[in-house]
Amino acid sequence: MPVPVSFAPLDTLPRLMRSRGVEAGRCLVVTDERVAALYGDAVCKGLASEQIRPRLLALPPGEATKSHDRLVEIYDQALAWGMERGVPVVALGGGVVGDLAGFAAATLLRGVPLFQVPTTLVAQVDSSIGGKTGINHATGKNLIGAFYRPAGVLTDTAVLTSLPAREWTSGLAEVFKHGLIADEALFAELEAAADALFERDEDTAGRIVPRAADVKMRIVREDEFETGRRAILNFGHTFAHAIEKVAGYGAYTHGEAVAAGMRAALYLSAQVSTDFDRARADRLVRRIPIPPGLASLAIPDLMEAMKQDKKVRGGGARLVLLDRIGRAFVDGSVPPRLVEKAWAFAQEVVG
Amino acid sequence: MPVPVSFAPLDTLPRLMRSRGVEAGRCLVVTDERVAALYGDAVCKGLASEQIRPRLLALPPGEATKSHDRLVEIYDQALAWGMERGVPVVALGGGVVGDLAGFAAATLLRGVPLFQVPTTLVAQVDSSIGGKTGINHATGKNLIGAFYRPAGVLTDTAVLTSLPAREWTSGLAEVFKHGLIADEALFAELEAAADALFERDEDTAGRIVPRAADVKMRIVREDEFETGRRAILNFGHTFAHAIEKVAGYGAYTHGEAVAAGMRAALYLSAQVSTDFDRARADRLVRRIPIPPGLASLAIPDLMEAMKQDKKVRGGGARLVLLDRIGRAFVDGSVPPRLVEKAWAFAQEVVG
C-alpha cells in the first residue's frame, strides 16, 4: 500500500520522521542549490532540534542532475560519511531531487528510509507519490530506477509561492492531466479556477493540489507496480519523453513537454473516439506556455525517439488516450500515420 | 513470499521461464567467461528452441566484476540492444553474476523479470535465494544494491562437477554455516558425510545441497527484508567482509573468508556461551582450506574494517554468535578486546 501524503507545514518534518520510526541520530538531506538557499537552513535547524543531525547535500538544479554521475556522487559521499541502515534520506526538492535521492535511498545498503518533501508543483501532485525513483540514461529518461516506497511524504503547498513562474505553469500540466484522465469534476473545477491558477493564487493552490495529488494516489493504490491501470498516468508522456530527448534534456521542462504531448494525445483521442470533446480539453491545456522551437523538431526524429520509450512493448507504441474527459484507456493500435498527424497538430498550434 | 527453488536439470530452464509468464521474444543472459564456455551454448540453444531469443553477455570471472563499471556495462548494452519491460534477465553463474545481474534486472526500467541459475555451491545454497542483489563499493562489499524477488530460481546440482576445486571447498563454508546456525541435524549429517563432501561425491552433493538451500529459504521466509532473524545468516560474515577488504578483494574467495570468519565467531561463541561445543564445530569448519597469509593481516586494520560493515548500527559491532550448534543469536555487546582475541584465534590456527 503506498504511503499517504501528509499535507502539513515544512516545520513538521522532524515530527513526521519521528512518528515513522526514525531514531535520534543522523540523516542525509539531498536537495538542489535553489531549494537549499530557500529552505536548507530552516529544515536542518528543525531536524537538529529533534536530535536528527542533518548533513545537507545540495546539487545543481535541473534535469542534468538526474544522472549516473550524480548518483555516484551521493553514494560516495553517503558511504564516506559512514551511511548506516536506518539512517534516513530526505529528498527536499522537485522531481529531479525526488527521483535521484529516492533511487539513492532505494539502493544504498539495499535500502534506507526515504522521506519525500516535494517543493515543486509537479513533485507535489505527481512524482513524490507512488514510489517511482530513477535516473536518466543516454538512451532515454528514467531508464534506470526502482519502485521504492518512501517512509513518508510531506507536502507543504505554501512553499509553492517561491517557485519560478515557469516551474509553476509546467506543474499545471500534471494537474490538468489528472483531471483529464480520471476526474471530470476536478477538470471542471480547474476550468473554473483557471485564471486564479495561472495567477498562482495561494488559496486556490492549497485547495487544488491535494485534490490532484489524490487522483494520483488513487491510481497508484490500484496498481502500485504499473502492471495495468497505472499506465494511464503516462497520458501525454510518450510524446513528452520524445520531445525531451530530441530537443535535448533541459530545453523544455518536463511539464512543458507533457503539455505539448497531451495536445498530441488529445488529437489522437478525437480521432479514435469521435465524440471526444477535444476543443474543451485543449482550451485548458493550450494555456500552458511552451517555449518556441517545438515546430522545428523533426517529426521523423520524434517518431524514432518514441520507439525507444520503455513503455513500448513488442515494437508497437501503446498510447494513453481519452474516450471522454475523466476517462482514459490504453490503445496499442494507433497507426504511425495518425501519430505523425498528432505531432503536426501539437507543433502547429503551440509552436 | 520468496520464490521457491526449482531443483531440476539446466535444460528445463526455458520451460520454467515459460511457466512463470515469459512470452516468446528476447532475453538477456548474463554470465561469466568460465561458465559461458561450459554452458553458454547449451543454455542459449535451449532458450532459442522455446522461442526465447537469447543475447549472451559474458563478463570476466571474479569478485572484481561485481563493480559499478560492470553494472554500467550491462545497462549500456541492454539499453542499446533495446531492453523492454517484460524481457527477462537470466543470471547464469555464481554469486558475483547473480548479485550483479540481479541488481541490473532490479533497476533496468525499474525492474525486469529475473531468473537465477546458480552454478556454484555458494550460489546454490545461499546467494541465489532470498532476493539480495548488489555490487561492491570502494568503501566495502555489497554497499549498493536492492532486495529483488526473482521470477524463478533453477538449481541443477549436476553442474557442480565442473567447479574448480577451490570454489567447491569455499562453498562448503556456507553449507556448514547453515547447519551451525539453524539445523543441528544437518550439521550432524555434514559431519558424517564430510569425507565424501570434500571428495565432492555427486550423490552426496545432490542430497546435501537442497537441504542446505532449504535452511536459507526457511530463514528468508521468516524475514525477507532482513529486519530481524535473517541477520543470523551473517554468521562469520562481519569478519569475512573485513578479511576481504583488508586483504584486497580476490585474495580470498568469499567462502574462504567466511570459513575464517566463522572460526573467529566460534571462538566468541564459546566465550559468551560457556557450554558451547567449540571443538566440535571447529573440527568441521577448519577442514576448509584457506590460502596462507591470513596471519599477516594486521588486527587493527581488520578491526577498523569491521566498523564500516553495513550491519554496524550506532557504532557497535553486532555479531552473530551460537549458543549451541544449530542455534544462533545476535550479540551487540561483545567488547573489542574479545573481538581482537577472536581474530588472533582465527589467524593462529588457520594461518
| B280 or A248, which is more confident | B280
Q: Are residues B17 and B117 in the same domain?
A: yes
Q: Are residues A90 and A22 in the same domain?
A: yes
What's A156's domain CATH number?
3.40.50.1970
Write the residue in A142, A144, A225 that is nearest to B75 by C-beta: A144
Closest CA to B30 of B21, B22, B39: B39
CA distance A313 to chain B (A): 7
Write the residue in B85, B139, B313 that is nearest to A310 by C-beta: B85
CA distance A347 to chain B (A): 28
Q: Taking an 8 Å Cβ-Cβ cutoff, which residues of chain B contact chain A?
A: 25, 68, 72, 75-76, 79-80, 82, 84-86, 106-111, 132, 134, 137-140, 142-147, 225-226, 308, 310-314
Per-residue pLDDT at A120 exceeds 50: yes
Q: Which residues of B touch A313 (CB under 8 A)?
A: 84-86
Q: B211 is written with which cell numbers?
A: 537441504
Indicate yes or no: CB of A142 within 8 angstroms of CB of B110: yes
The amino acid occupying position A85 is R
Q: Are residues B71 and B184 in the same domain?
A: no
User: Among A98, A131, A161, which residue terminates a domain?
Assistant: A161
Q: Are residues B135 and B223 in the same domain?
A: no
| Mean pLDDT (whole number) for B320-331 | 96
User: Among A161, A181, A202, which residue terminates a domain?
Assistant: A161
Q: Are residues A19 and A149 in the same domain?
A: yes
Q: Which residues of A touch B79 (CB under 8 A)?
A: 137-140, 143
Is B110 considered catalytic here? Answer: yes
What per-residue confidence (pLDDT) applies to A109?
96
Task: For residues A331 and A310, give the distance between their C-alpha atoms in angstroms, rounded to a whole number.
Answer: 16
What per-residue confidence (pLDDT) applies to A316?
58
Q: Taking an 8 Å Cβ-Cβ cutoff, which residues of chain A contact chain B?
A: 25, 68, 72, 75-76, 79-80, 82, 84-86, 106-111, 132-134, 137-140, 142-147, 225-226, 308, 310-314
- Number of domains composing chain A: 2
Per-residue pLDDT at B195 exceeds 90: yes
What per-residue confidence (pLDDT) applies to A228?
86
Q: Which residues of B touch A144 (CB under 8 A)?
A: 75, 107-108
ipTM (interface pTM): 0.89
Taking one residue from A and the other from B, the number of pairs with CB-CB distance under 8 angstroms is 85
What's B259's domain CATH number?
1.20.1090.10
Q: Are residues B301 and B320 in the same domain?
A: yes
CB B277 within 8 A of CB B266: no
Write the residue in A80, A109, A314 that is nearest to B310 by C-beta: A109
The whole-model pTM stands at 0.91
Chain centroid to CA B310 = 16
What per-residue confidence (pLDDT) applies to B312?
52
Q: Are residues B18 and B150 in the same domain?
A: yes
Pairing type for strands B152-155 and B114-118 reads parallel
CA distance B260 to chain A (A): 24
What per-residue confidence (pLDDT) applies to A87?
96
Chain centroid to CA A135 = 13
- Interface probe, candidates B76, B110, B234, chain A, greatest A C-beta count within 10 A: B110
Is B226 considered catalytic here? Answer: yes
What per-residue confidence (pLDDT) applies to B330?
94
Q: Are residues B33 and B141 in the same domain?
A: yes
Q: What is the pLDDT of residues B73-121, one digit of tens each?
A: 999 999 999 899 999 999 999 999 999 999 999 999 999 999 999 999 9
Q: Are residues B202 and B339 in the same domain?
A: yes
Confidence band, pLDDT 50/70/90 cuts, at residue A221:
very high
- Interface probe, candidates A76, A107, A135, chain B, greatest B C-beta count within 10 A: A107
Q: What is the pLDDT of residues A150-204, one digit of tens each?
A: 999 999 999 999 999 999 999 999 999 999 999 999 999 999 999 999 999 999 9
Task: Tell me the DSSP string of A124-192.
Answer: IIIITSS-EEEEEETTEEEEEEEE---SEEEE-GGGGGGS-HHHHHHHHHHHHHHHHHH-HHHHHHHHH
Per-residue pLDDT at A351 exceeds 50: no
B34, B241, B245, B278: the catalytic one is B241
Write the residue in B110, B143, B226 that is nearest to A134 by C-beta: B110
Q: Are residues A246 and A339 in the same domain?
A: yes
Averaged pLDDT of chain A: 94
Indicate yes or no: CB of A146 within 8 angstroms of CB of B146: yes
Write the residue in A72, A84, A144 that is nearest to B310 by C-beta: A84
Indicate yes or no: CB of B108 within 8 angstroms of CB of A80: no
Averaged pLDDT of chain B: 94
In terms of residue numbers, what domain contains A279? 164-350
Q: Are residues A171 and A157 in the same domain?
A: no
The helix, strand and coil proportions of chain B, stated in percent and rounded to the nearest 5, come to 55, 15, 25
Q: B41 is written with which cell numbers?
A: 551454448
What percentage of chain A has pLDDT greater than the value 70? 97
CB B328 within 8 A of CB B321: yes
User: Among A161, A188, A218, which residue terminates a domain?
Assistant: A161
What per-residue confidence (pLDDT) applies to B344?
96
Q: List all residues 6 or more positions away from B168 whose beta carbon is below 8 Å from its beta carbon.
A: B121, B160, B200
Q: What is the pLDDT of residues B1-49, one digit of tens each?
A: 788 999 999 999 999 999 999 999 999 999 999 999 999 999 999 999 9
Q: Are residues A56 and A144 in the same domain?
A: yes
- Give the CA distances from residue A9 to residues A12, A16, A102, A153, A217, in Å, rounded to whole numbers and listed in that order: 6, 11, 21, 12, 20
